[in-house]
Structure 1
């Protein structure tokens, strides 16, 4: 009997040891995650909501959008003092052309941008973290009425400010831009201006993490209360897809492997690695149903961009005038936000952004050999153009799986796996000296 129990015990111990999942956290990134403060976030949100309105077309320098922009600029400048001169900030002015819809005449506008310059002069990559600071009422043309915009998108703007605070004193090889857009509610005007500027000037944008409506954990209508989940939206088919890109996508079955989809998976993996008791849900849409956000402007120009948003929206406090009606308080007020939830979402951002910014760039010319029929799969690639890779992960998942399921490490630039390319998808990512992983690259066929 005792011998039988011993055998059962050994089986249980063996099963338990193999079922454990090892979580490796970089202490420096974990430290940044721990420094994200719900109190700081609440302070930013309440200050932003204290302006009468942050409507894009409001020009009041004391209570309107210009005053709010000066507030964000002042926060950025205060953090820059800890950056040894690497962080600079500015209000970048531009003109929104009349569009015959929400902009009736050419109108002045501005984005507020803090730039944390990378420490590697050979690293030209730029990573953008963003939120939009403009607010609105039910009537999007109302530029004077009270519009606190606490959650939409004071929450995203607060996250951007907090990341600038936490990251300013740290060093990253790549450059990071912390951006508070304007004109989102009028048709993504600020984001379009910056995305077009980036394209014209040839910026090497590695990724755009756009945060929009990230500070509420309870829904209207369904009355769900849940501060344990957030959403990441990513496009399936690239907005700038050419016919050649479409042909290759259909040929390889890569409908679920756009660059933005790879970024979404990356945010989920890094977010859940560093933020305890929090789940990042992948939503297979570029944005909410029939809606859009600032990431769209960058996606249209071919950049890798995603939208980060809360899991359950409350429409009593979104695009509504401040009022009480039938016993219900409407309006986007700070008292309806969950600042601990906002802390978690912001922490996911810093985990992903800091890892991206210190990782090597992606492997170059990633291919999968299809020269002959085989039940094994051979991948090959070239080293990243930027940064030093000490090794590579070849990622694998079943075709029905949303996330990469296995990682095979190698220091070579080719790897053959005993798994059929008919049944699995693969990708390759570079690994830096500090263990930071690049974004994965989906392979193209090598046929001759």
Structure 2
């Protein structure tokens, strides 16, 4: 008993920390850091091009050669095609879309919604995908105004140019998993493009590891003069959007209110950013989106996919969703001159580094825990493709971040007491391990690793698996 109490005290005294990614920065130390290839000049050039279409409003012209959403999407598809030519046709370029019927709100007539999508197939697990996306459409004050100029530089030209730059850089490499680069339309009219892409991904039978939705990553100051040039916010949901009555009942009994896959993706991204102290950092916002608002991560969350919103630390409301004008000496409108390109470059660098890492990491495993009416926790880990090692992470129920910890006295199959638990590569059977921590007081999660590259943590709670609930959890 005394030894067990000493163990618990030792673990409890461990300093709080984000996920340990020391090996992440080290993997780029030799000069193979794709984030350093971000070109501010290319970001500026792409921004000038896309704001040059005048408006990219979803209800604007579909068939004009130089103005409106049709010309803008055509150019994006062509640009993805040019990028593909530079990597021996490594990208599959598609216009993923459909006609949306009137909704009585922001779609007044049948409207074609087209997304510009480029798929970089993984070499080992092509159905396992990471999606990086931004919405390509723009608007002014009236959400139904598809005629007036709507440059949409920050909202969301900033995310759009990052997606194009990510495709240029990462397409020069090969990855085990697939990366999807997506420029979505219809966001300002009701998240239509994201819904169409999420349905398409489901129809393709893809397994979604992560969705990084970048919406406004190009300004560092608000209209009140307050600035935060070193931080992006990452929004993530706590309770799963695809939750069921049965899952909610189980979470009341076993926990999981703060452990949705998107929340763990957010934790991972914050820990990852911290390994680059010169880079932009992550402030986690534990909400699905901003107060009373939404973004293109939501349709993916609705379908059970892990997704987060990456956005500026400070919004400038004078320069989003505004008619171009000057009133009482104040200039309004989402124009290029309001973009902080240094901030945009740093936010782009975080995205490219994270994509590079996630595309090399295995899928997070499905994990369950049996800790009811016992002094320890029996952990069951279901193997995933591409993983050779699994690492245990623990945190107290009131702590925000995972600790990377292998508690003394743990035991199980193929156990390595220094690094973690190691599965037999030849076996696909679940592995069971006993952790000497009381489940009432601790949450336990597991990441899957390929060498030193580890996935985000999957929590051993109901709904913790990185998969839609339509797929039965192994619990």
Q: Same fold (TM over 0.5)?
A: yes
Q: What residue is the counterpart of 2:443 in the other structure?
A: 425
Structure 1 residues 119 and 22: CA distance shift in structure 2, 3 A: closer
Match of 1:110 in 2: 114
Task: Report how far residue 88 of structure 1 moved.
Answer: 2.2
Task: Go from structure 1 to structure 2 and tell me whether the alpha carbon gap of 1:198 and 1:157 turns closer, same or farther (over 3 Å shift).
Answer: same
Q: CA deviation at 1:215?
A: 0.6
1:410 has 2:427 as partner: no
SS of the residue corresponding to residue 152 of structure 2 reads: coil
On the 8 A contact 1:230/1:281 being kept in 2, the answer is yes
SS of equivalent to 1:124: strand
What residue number does 2:44 align with?
A: 42
**Structure 2 CA distance, aligned partners of 1:107 and 1:70?**
16
Distance 1:48 1:301, change over 3 A: same
> Displacement, 1:372?
4.6
SS of corresponding position for 1:240: coil
Structure 1 residue 272, shift from structure 2 partner: 2.4
Q: How far does the alpha carbon of each residue in 1:388-430 deviate from its partner, in whole angstroms, 9 at most, with x for none?
A: x221110111222211123433243454444332222110011
Aligned residue in 2 for 1:443: 460
Alignment of 1:25-424 (within 5 A): 25=25, 26-27=27-28, 31-59=33-61, 60-120=64-124, 122-221=125-224, 223-274=225-276, 276-364=278-366, 366-370=367-371, 372-374=373-375, 376-384=376-384, 386-387=385-386, 389-408=387-406, 409-412=419-422, 413-424=431-442
Q: Select between 27-36 and 136-145 the one with higher mean Cα deviation.
A: 27-36
CA distance in 2 between counterparts of 1:406 and 1:203 reads 30
Find the counterpart in structure 2 of residue 15 from structure 1: none
For structure 1, which segment, 389-398 or 185-194, has the greater mean C-alpha deviation from structure 2 after superposition?
389-398
Match of 1:18 in 2: none
| Offset at residue 32 of structure 1 (A) | 0.4
With 75-84 and 176-185 compared, the bigger mean Cα shift is at 75-84
Mapped to 1, the partners of 2:22 and 2:361 lie a distance apart of: 18
User: TM-score by structure 1 length?
Assistant: 0.89
Give the direction of change, closer, same or farther, for the CA distance of 1:169–1:392 in structure 2 (3 Å limit): same
Moved more, 87-96 or 123-132: 87-96
Quick one: distance in 1 between partners of 2:264 and 2:334?
33
Deviation of the 1:156 alpha carbon: 0.8
Deviations, residues 86-140 of structure 1 (Å, cap 9, x unaligned)? 21213334211110111111112211011111111x5421211100010000011
Q: Shift of residue 241 of structure 1? A: 0.4
Q: 1:251 Cα shift?
A: 1.7
2:428 counterpart residue number: none
1:190 positional shift: 0.8
Counterparts of 2:41 and 2:442, CA distance in 1 = 45
Give, in angstroms, the shift of residue 444 of structure 1.
4.0
Q: Alpha carbons of 1:407 and 1:76: their partners in 2 closer, same or farther (altered >3 Å)?
A: farther
CA distance in 2 between partners of 1:241 and 1:419 (Å): 28
Q: Which moved more, 1:149-158 or 1:79-88?
A: 79-88
CA change 1:161–1:419 in 2 (3 A) is same
CA displacement 1:215-271 (0-9 Å, x = unmatched):
1000123x2112111101111111110112112222222111011101111111222
C-alpha contact 1:29 1:351 (8 A) present in aligned 2: no
Q: Distance in 2 between matches of 1:110 and 1:182?
A: 6
8 Å Cα contact 1:271/1:347 also seen in 2: no
Which consecutive residues of structure 1, in runs of 5 or more, have no partner in the other structure?
Answer: 1-20
| Residues 290-324 of structure 1, C-alpha deviations (whole Å, 9 max, x = no match) | 10011111111111111111000000000001111
Compare relative contact order (CA 8 Å, sep 6+) and give the higher one, 1 or 2.
2
Deviation at 1:351, TM superposition (A): 2.1
The worse-fitting range, judged by mean Cα deviation, of 323-332 and 38-47 is 38-47
Q: CA deviation at 1:288?
A: 0.4
